[in-house]
Amino acid sequence: MKHSYAGRAAIVGIGATEFSKASGRSELQLALEACAAACADAGVDPRQVNGLSTFTMESNPESEIMRGLGIPELTHFSRIHFGGGAPCATVQYAAMAVASGVADYVLCYRAFNERSGRRFGVGVQDRPAGATAEEAQFAFTSPFGLLTPASWVAMFATRMMHEYGVTSEDFGRVAVADRRHAATNPAAHFYGQPIRLEDHQASRWIVEPLHLLDCCQETDGGQAMLVTTPERARDLAQPAVIVEAAAQGMADDQHMMRSFFRESIVGLPEMGTCARQIWETSGLAPADVKTAVLYDHFTPFVLAQLEEFGFCGPGEAKDFVADGGIELGGRLPVNTHGGQLGEAYLHGMNGIAEGVRQVRGTSVNQVEGAEHVLVTGGTGVPTSALMLGAAG
């Protein structure tokens, strides 16, 4: 079934801070800088914003954003759970709000000092061993030393290698593509620093079978997007980037990056749920998509996403990424900003911004004919996805 709000919302502004390892500023300041920049990009006075959408993990409450931006009134504020699975859903909620008339301008934002402050990669060992269902979820993984996202994803990766014959080098090709794209993106942390497959293979183990260079960066920074209706968009500073489709997804026997108990653990069925909605709502097919931004906290799940969206068949992603298949000039250039391995780890929000730039035609690694750009949220977690396109 098609979503009725599809095509009735547009991203009209994007804004970000610099991406760094130590911002030297509060997370609230990063959020406000990014939000103000998104409004400025669109040519919209922040006081016109009356909706906010962000992550449950976000430390900056809507009330503080509202105060800082001088917003007189909010009619919509929504949050999405499950960490990195949220980014595309912030835009989806914003799109639903503006299409239904609940709000006029909605800011989607995410900001953190994830490198200089609380680092996600250090593990959940300090999480309270409490009685809530949220806390008790960890009872059957944390006492056994499986404490970090890398350790959870590695469990899937080992099985992918076993069932599909995927190798560490296949994972490495994702890293090589990301770093090649980041090398020509001045905003990327790894600007001017491409890697070779040998560098990937030589990098130290984090959690076997994941090398250091299979893992995303840790970043301080903020990213925001401004969403409104296509009608309002006509009068604004930038060409509208239409939300052609947006989706959230969970699937059978879902767990938070630890869905180890399903019949098969080599795919991402929650991303399959998103893919089905994205294709149905947009009316597009994989062949219509010339570039994609696929969530890359860890390289193995980029392969699984190519399969879930039907760019190739199950188990075929290792061939799809071979010979520069996901690099500029390849079958489907992926993460042209450098991804979260190359540009920055902004919980996927910087990937949405790259999707906007590709549709606008302003990416530093512009792909010819990028009329429709697929963007995805976190993998292994309940997640979200977007199809962005040019205004007709």
Partner 1 sequence: MSADDLLTRLRALVGQQGPVQSARHPVNLPAIADWCDAMGDGNPVYTDEEAAAKSRHGGIVAPPATLDIWDRPGLPAQPRFRPAAKPPAADPRSRTLRLLEEAGFIGVVAVNSELEIARYLRPGDVVQNTQILDDVSEEKQTALGVGHFVTTRQRYETSDGEHVGDLLFRILKFKPSSGQQSTGTSPAAAAQARPAPDPSPALRPRPGINKDNEALWEGYRNHELRLPRCNGCGRVFFPPSPRCSSCGAFDMGYVVVSGRGTLYSFSVVHHPQVPGFRYPLVVGLVELDGADDGAGRGVRFLADLVGVSPAQAEVGMPLEIEWLDSHPALVEGATDSRGPITVPQFRPATPTRREDTLTAGSVQEGQRLPLWTLPLAPTHIVAGALATRDFQDVHHDRDLAVQKGSKDIFLNINTSLGLMERYVTDWSGPDAAVTALRVRLGAPAYPYMPLTFSGAVKSVDADTGRVVVGVQASNELGPHVTGTVELELQP
Q: Could you list the residues that contact partner 1 (CB under 8 A)?
A: 121-125, 127-133, 135-148, 151-152, 154-156, 158-159, 162, 204-209, 255, 260-261, 263, 265
3-state secondary structure 228-261: ECHHHHCCCCCCCEEEEEEEEECCCCCCCCCCCC
Tell me whether residue 184 or residue 254 sits nearer to partner 1 (CB atom): 254
Helix (H) or strand (E) holding 357: helix 349-360
> Least distance (Å) from partner 1 to the CB of residue 221?
22
Q: How far is the CB of 251 from partner 1 (least distance, A)?
A: 13
Cβ of residue 165: shortest distance to partner 1, in angstroms? 12
**Amino acid at the residue 16:** A
Residue 150: CB minimum distance to partner 1, A = 8
Taking Cα atoms as reference points, which of 349, 377, 376, 353 lies closest to residue 364?
A: 353
Q: How far apart are CA 381 and CA 257, in angstroms?
A: 5
Decide whether 214 or 244 has the Cβ nearer to partner 1. Answer: 214
345 is a catalytic site residue = yes
CA–CA separation, 264 and 33 (whole Å): 43
* Catalytic hit among 5, 109, 164, 345: 345
The smaller minimum CB distance to partner 1, of residues 124 and 390, is found at: 124
Is 164 in the active site?
no
Element (H, E) at 351: helix 349-360
Q: How far apart, in whole angstroms, are the C-alpha atoms of residue 52 and residue 107? A: 5
Active-site hit among 5, 109, 164, 295: 295
HEC secondary structure over 113-127: ECCCCCCHHHCCCCC
C-beta of 77 vs 138, nearer to partner 1: 138
Indicate which residues carry an active-site annotation: 295, 345
